[in-house]
Amino acid sequence: DAGITQSPRHKVTETGTPVTLRCHQTENHRYMYWYRQDPGHGLRLIHYSYGVKDTDKGEVSDGYSVSRSKTEDFLLTLESATSSQTSVYFCAISGTRGYNEQFFGPGTRLTVL
Amino acid sequence: DAKTTQPTSMDCAEGRAANLPCNHSTISGNEYVYWYRQIHSQGPQYIIHGLKNNETNEMASLIITEDRKSSTLILPHATLRDTAVYYCIVTSRIMDSNYQLIWGAGTKLIIKP
């Protein structure tokens, strides 16, 4: 399995608080992604990165920001969490075998009360 | 919206071949067919992809029709551990500003003893 970890794995927070999720890889892959998964929806891309300090928006980027200061870390920040951001968040990486062949982390379950 | 159509659910007996269909009638010439699966509560797992020739790897076989409007993922000897949601995704391999994998609802495959 690809070396991808996510932290925290579970988090409960209150509306209006800032939240940062971390994705860490040991594969030195160029591309990193953040998805959310909700019941009744497939995975939806939030943001992705194609290199250090190079990021772009995905389908559902409103309310989220990202940063990538090192190849191995991709941070997802909810500046002011809302209940609609309650979801399971997956990080993915891709690289040497093409960016469509993505390897996923174990996920973070976030609950915003 | 997803560019593919898959059955919502399927059953298969353990030890038999599981054949998962996917329709992608609007696929264009530079688009590939990718298959992923997601076992309950885990991150998705890449299975296989193809352009127009049939492909086989250690996990599965992919059969693409000559007109490329549909494909079938074959798990040759299904086990209980193959119970998962299977996603068929059509995408270009070219990175552009609008790049993203579009995930539909997939097919829930249940392997029965």
CA distance A109 to chain B (A): 10
CA distance B77 to chain A (A): 22
Task: Say if strands A108-112 and A10-13 run parallel, antiparallel, or are unpaired.
Answer: parallel
Residue-averaged pLDDT of chain A: 92
* Strand blocks (E) in B1-113: 9-13, 18-23, 31-38, 45-50, 55-56, 61-64, 70-75, 84-92, 107-112
Query: Is A51 touching B (CB cutoff 8 A)?
Result: no
What tokens were used for B28? Answer: 């264009």
The arithmetic mean of pLDDT across residues B57-73, rounded, is 96
pLDDT digits (tens, 9 = 90+) for B23-59: 999 888 888 899 999 998 899 999 999 989 899 999 9
CB contact at 8 A, B30 and B92: yes
More confident position, B95 or A71: A71
Q: Which B positions 62-101 lie with beta carbon below 8 A of chain A?
A: 87, 91, 93, 95, 97, 99-101
Cβ A104–B44 below 8 Å, yes or no?
A: yes
Confidence of residue B97 (pLDDT cuts 50, 70, 90): very low
pLDDT digits (tens, 9 = 90+) for A53-106: 999 998 899 999 999 999 999 999 999 999 999 999 999 998 766 667 889 999
pLDDT of A108 strictly over 90: yes
Q: What's the Cα-to-Cα distance from B45 to each of A2, A10, B40, B65, B68, rounded to whole Å?
A: 11, 21, 11, 24, 23
User: What φ, ψ does residue B11 adopt, rounded to 5°?
Assistant: -115, 155
Please state, for a pLDDT cut of 70, what percent of chain A lies above it.
Answer: 95
3-state SS class at B111: strand
Q: Would you state the pLDDT for residue B12? A: 96
Strand partners, A34: A47, A91
Which letter, b or e, does each residue of A24-43 get, where b requires 16 or more Cβ atoms within 10 Å of its Cβ? bbeeebbbbbbbbbeeeebb
Q: Would you state the pLDDT for residue B41? A: 83
pLDDT of B104 strictly over 90: no
How many CB atoms are closer than 10 A to CB B16?
13
Please state, for a pLDDT cut of 90, what percent of chain A lies above it.
Answer: 77
Which of A44, A50, A105 is facing B43, going by the closest CB pair? A105
CB contact at 8 A, B17 and B76: yes
Give all strands of the β-sheet with A19-25 in edge-to-edge order: A4-7, A19-25, A73-78, A64-70
Q: Would you state the pLDDT for residue A72? A: 96
CA-closest candidate to residue A11, choices A3, A22, A2, A1 = A22
Which of A43, A98, A106 is facing B103, going by the closest CB pair? A43
The arithmetic mean of pLDDT across residues A15-39, rounded, is 94
pLDDT of B99 strictly over 60: no
How many CB atoms are closer than 10 A to CB B90?
21
Query: Is A56 touching B (CB cutoff 8 A)?
Result: yes
